[in-house]
């Protein structure tokens, strides 16, 4: 009990199958509370499936996923875990504010919370715009803003910075950092390796398995490389395979 | 279940539709136009007084079935439903929210259709026009709840559109419009007794002709309501928080 409540996420022998393919094959993972954890790996390696399992929307074949001390997907977690899907899940025929107000009502969050997340995601200039008329980057920020409503303890963000301009990306990472400093745990997936340096811990994933779980500096030291991309390649070489 | 979340969802669905004035226009006007067309078609005959009441059931039923099934399928497909089900909302809240939103639209639609049939097309109603509106409304609500249920079994837009011929057309054929139900072959008559639209059309005819007592109409309404509630409950049970 002591172990599980000090972890944000604890996964034991998780197996997920999709049709005939085994996406995750006996995966073990522990994510401590607080901080930014980067989930890196090529597309198709199982990042999204892992995140869906943590949020509790993925049907799993076997294994145990414990989130904030409870089985993933339990009802109390629905206010404690925020989830941003890879494709922005927003109502295109609602304005930015209407989208956020609806989610706030479902969460029972106060109306002032809507203004807070609009400011945090730099959407103040677009509150009256239909989400369908926004750019791709703006839509994904609405999706992110919705996940920030109700101040969840764990944020699961599936590629939240895709398609954003560099300035905005830096701003979002500083937002992630402020949240982490307040004790929030963030699991952020990305296939942009240069974002890895901003994380407190890195999970490198390949073919449905964890290749590494370390701090960025420890990873560079251990692989004697200068950047995460080379570290990733070195680890795969060492594992002896393609 | 939470009334607040149900209402929030209904409000959200109505706001979405409000941003799409063309859909509102079509929803409100098309059934009336079709009823007008039928009236015109049979202008020189005495057919319209016989089938006119049934049309008040048919067209709103079909339109609401289509609109609701596509609206909920869109929510499933766009990823917003998956996101929504990670939040503290009950599955029944979600389905009831949709049903409530479309029921409100159905009130407007049924009101316009009945008024148009009676005032413009000259459909003679021997019974209460208000009761006729209630039955027409129940029928539109039935259409939208069946649409909610049907969309649960559709993975794509192609599939959901084909539920229309699969679920709606047999009810139309066996509903007693083409041939009175008691003149059908026994097996088909027995089947038609189990189809909700048959009861809706029976009720509309009974009110229009005023040849049955209120208890009869009430019993038909009860059957329609049972099917509507059953669809909502089944629809919420088919919603899955976990998907493959």
- Closest listed residue to residue B85, CA positions, set B234, B239, B244: B239
Q: What is the pLDDT of residue B174?
A: 93
Q: For the sheet containing A201-206, what is the strand order?
A: A81-84, A154-158, A185-190, A35-40, A201-206, A209-214
- Token pair, residue A211, equals 């290749």
Q: In 3-state terms, what secondary structure has residue A139?
A: helix
pLDDT tens-digit readout, A39-77: 998 888 999 999 999 999 999 999 999 999 999 999 999
Spatial contact of B77 and B216, defined as CB atoms under 8 Å apart: no
Spatial contact of B236 and A67, defined as CB atoms under 8 Å apart: no
- Give the CB-side neighbour count of residue A185, counting CA atoms within 13 A: 20
- The distance of A92 to chain B (nearest Cα, Å) reads 9
- The distance of B75 to chain A (nearest Cα, Å) reads 8
What confidence category does residue A241 fall into, taking pLDDT thresholds of 50, 70 and 90?
Answer: low
- Within 10 angstroms of residue A109's Cβ, the number of other Cβ atoms is 20
Q: In 3-state terms, what secondary structure has residue B64?
A: helix
Spatial contact of A138 and A123, defined as CB atoms under 8 Å apart: yes
What confidence category does residue A240 fall into, taking pLDDT thresholds of 50, 70 and 90?
Answer: low
- Overall average pLDDT of the B175-202 stretch: 92
Q: What is the pLDDT of residue A4?
A: 43
* C-alpha span between B238 and B236 (Å, rounded): 5
Whole-prediction pTM value? Answer: 0.89
Does A24 score more than 60 pLDDT? yes
Residues in A closer than 8 angstroms to B21, CB to CB, are none
- Token pair, residue A42, equals 């090529």
Spatial contact of B80 and A89, defined as CB atoms under 8 Å apart: yes
What confidence category does residue B213 fall into, taking pLDDT thresholds of 50, 70 and 90?
Answer: confident
For chain B, percent of residues with pLDDT exceeding 90: 57
Q: What is the pLDDT of residue A1?
A: 40
Does B182 score more than 70 pLDDT? yes
Provide the mean pLDDT of chain B. 91
> Is A89 close to B78, i.e. CB distance below 8 A?
yes
- The distance of A74 to chain B (nearest Cα, Å) reads 10
Q: What is the pLDDT of residue A158?
A: 93
Q: Which of residues 10-39 of B touch A (CB under 8 A)?
A: 11-12, 15-16, 19-20
In order of B39, B58, B181, the CA distances from B174 in angstroms are 21, 12, 7
- Name every residue whose Cβ is closer than 8 Å to that of residue B3 and which is 6 or more positions away in sequence: none
- Overall average pLDDT of the B128-151 stretch: 91
Does B50 score more than 50 pLDDT? yes
- Token pair, residue A21, equals 């393919």
Spatial contact of B132 and B74, defined as CB atoms under 8 Å apart: no
Spatial contact of A158 and A189, defined as CB atoms under 8 Å apart: yes
Q: In chain B, where does DSSP find H-type helix?
A: 3-18, 21-41, 48-77, 80-84, 91-115, 129-152, 157-163, 169-173, 186-192, 196-209, 214-238
In order of B27, B96, B169, B230, the CA distances from B235 in angstroms are 23, 10, 21, 8
* C-alpha span between B171 and B159 (Å, rounded): 19
* C-alpha span between A178 and A176 (Å, rounded): 6
Does A5 score more than 70 pLDDT? no
- Give the CB-side neighbour count of residue A121, counting CA atoms within 13 A: 27
| B88 closest CB neighbour out of A90, A98, A106 | A106
- Token pair, residue B179, equals 């041939």
* C-alpha span between A159 and A141 (Å, rounded): 11
Spatial contact of B92 and B1, defined as CB atoms under 8 Å apart: yes
* C-alpha span between A83 and A158 (Å, rounded): 8
- Overall average pLDDT of the B209-215 stretch: 88
Put simply, whether A20 touches B (Cβ < 8 Å) is no
- Token pair, residue B181, equals 């139900």
Provide the mean pLDDT of chain A. 90
pLDDT tens-digit readout, B58-116: 888 998 999 999 988 989 888 899 899 999 999 999 999 999 999 999 989 999 999 99
Put simply, whether B187 touches A (Cβ < 8 Å) is no
- Token pair, residue B197, equals 């639209």
- Overall average pLDDT of the B218-240 stretch: 92
Residues in A closer than 8 angstroms to B76, CB to CB, are none
* C-alpha span between A211 and A205 (Å, rounded): 5
- Overall average pLDDT of the B46-52 stretch: 88
- Token pair, residue B114, equals 């009945």
Which stretch of A18-32, B6-20, B154-168 has the lowest confidence by average pLDDT? Answer: B154-168
Q: Which of residues 67-106 of B touch A (CB under 8 A)?
A: 78-80, 82-89
* C-alpha span between B163 and B87 (Å, rounded): 30
* C-alpha span between B65 and B167 (Å, rounded): 10
Put simply, whether A226 touches B (Cβ < 8 Å) is no
Does B141 score more than 80 pLDDT? yes
> Is B5 close to A105, i.e. CB distance below 8 A?
yes
Query: Is the alpha carbon torsion for A180, A184, A185, A190 positive or negative?
Result: negative
pLDDT tens-digit readout, A107-131: 999 999 999 999 998 899 999 999 9
Does B54 score more than 60 pLDDT? yes
Residues in B closer than 8 angstroms to A106, CB to CB, are 5, 8-9, 84, 87-89
- Overall average pLDDT of the B213-238 stretch: 92
């Amino acid at each position: 009990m002591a172990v599980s409540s000090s972890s944000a996420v604890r996964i034991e022998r998780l197996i997920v199958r999709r049709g005939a393919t085994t996406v995750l094959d006996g995966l073990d993972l522990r994510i401590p509370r607080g901080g930014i954890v980067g989930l890196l790996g090529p597309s198709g390696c199982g990042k999204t499936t892992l995140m869906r399992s943590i949020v509790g929307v993925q049907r799993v074949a076997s294994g145990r996923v414990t989130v904030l001390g409870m089985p993933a997907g339990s009802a109390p977690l629905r206010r404690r875990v925020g989830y941003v899907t890879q494709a922005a899940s927003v109502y295109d025929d609602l304005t930015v504010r209407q989208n956020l107000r609806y989610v706030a009502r479902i969460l029972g969050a106060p109306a002032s919370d809507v203004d807070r997340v609009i400011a945090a995601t730099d959407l103040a200039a677009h509150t009256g715009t239909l989400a369908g008329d926004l750019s791709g980057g703006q839509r994904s920020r609405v999706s992110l803003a919705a996940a920030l409503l109700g101040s969840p303890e764990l944020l699961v963000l599936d590629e939240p910075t895709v398609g954003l301009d560099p300035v905005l990306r830096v701003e979002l990472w500083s937002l992630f950092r402020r949240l982490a400093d307040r004790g929030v745990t963030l699991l952020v997936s990305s296939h942009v390796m240069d974002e890895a340096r901003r994380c407190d811990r890195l999970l490198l994933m390949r073919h449905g398995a964890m290749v590494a779980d370390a701090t960025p500096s420890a990873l560079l030291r251990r692989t004697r490389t200068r950047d995460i991309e080379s570290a990733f390649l070195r680890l795969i070489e060492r594992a002896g395979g393609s | 279940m939470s009334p607040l979340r149900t209402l929030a969802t209904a409000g959200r669905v109505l706001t979405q539709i409000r941003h799409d004035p063309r859909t509102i226009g079509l929803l409100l006007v098309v059934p009336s136009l079709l009823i007008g067309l039928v009236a015109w078609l049979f202008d020189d005959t005495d057919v319209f007084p016989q089938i006119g009441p049934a049309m008040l059931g048919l067209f709103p039923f079909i339109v609401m079935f289509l609109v609701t099934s596509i609206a909920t399928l869109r929510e499933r497909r766009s990823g917003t439903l998956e996101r929504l089900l990670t939040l503290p909302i009950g599955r029944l809240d979600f389905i009831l929210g949709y049903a409530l939103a479309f029921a409100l639209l159905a009130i407007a639609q049924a009101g316009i259709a009945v008024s148009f049939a009676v005032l413009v097309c000259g459909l003679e109603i021997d019974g209460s026009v208000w009761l006729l509106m209630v039955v027409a409304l129940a029928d539109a609500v039935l259409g939208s709840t069946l649409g909610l249920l049907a969309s649960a079994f559709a993975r794509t837009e192609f599939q959901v559109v084909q539920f229309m011929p699969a679920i709606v057309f047999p009810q139309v054929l066996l509903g007693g419009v083409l041939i009175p139900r008691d003149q059908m072959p026994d097996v088909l008559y027995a089947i038609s007794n189990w189809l909700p639209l048959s009861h809706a059309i029976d009720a509309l005819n009974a009110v229009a002709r005023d040849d049955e007592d209120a208890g009869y109409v009430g019993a038909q309404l009860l059957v329609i309501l049972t099917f509507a509630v059953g669809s909502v409950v089944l629809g919420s049970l088919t919603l899955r928080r976990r998907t493959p």
